[in-house]
Amino acid sequence: METEELQNFGTTTEAQTIYNMLQPEQPKMSPQTILRLKLFARRAIKPLSADEKIEIGDKLDYLETKIQDDLVVSEKQEKKQQTGALILKMMGTVLAALLTVILGINLTGKLAEPVFGIDPTWFVNTTALLISAFMTIISDLRMFFDSNELWVRHSSTANQLKNLLYYIRYLRTLPETITMSEVDLIKLDYSRIREETDKTIIKTRSSGMNKPS
CB neighbour list of residue 67: distance below 8 Å, 6 or more residues apart: 161, 164, 165, 168, 190
Please give the Cα distance from 196 to 202 (Å, whole number).
10
Contact 81, 147 (CB under 8 A): yes
Confidence of residue 158 (pLDDT cuts 50, 70, 90): very high
Domain ranges of the chain: 1-44, 57-209
Please give the Cα distance from 198 to 130 (Å, whole number).
36
CB neighbour list of residue 212: distance below 8 Å, 6 or more residues apart: none
pLDDT of res. 138: 81
Over the chain, what is the mean pLDDT? Answer: 77
**DSSP characters over 113-130:** S-BTTB-HHHHHHHHHHH
Contact 180, 56 (CB under 8 A): yes
**DSSP characters over 43-98:** ---PPPPHHHHHHHHHHHHHHHHHHHHHHHHHHHHHHHHHHHHHHHHHHHHHHHHH
46: left (phi over 0), alpha (psi -120 to 50) or beta: beta
Query: Cα dist. 50→95, 125, 186 in Å?
Result: 67, 80, 22
pLDDT in tens, 169-178: 988 887 777 8
Contact 136, 88 (CB under 8 A): no
pLDDT in tens, 21-74: 555 555 678 888 888 888 877 656 677 788 888 898 899 999 999 999 999 999
pLDDT of res. 15: 52
- Range 179-197 average pLDDT: 92
Higher per-residue pLDDT: 137 or 198 = 198
pLDDT of res. 12: 45
- Range 197-209 average pLDDT: 78
Residue type, 160: Q
pLDDT of res. 119: 73
CA end-to-end span of the chain, whole Å? 49
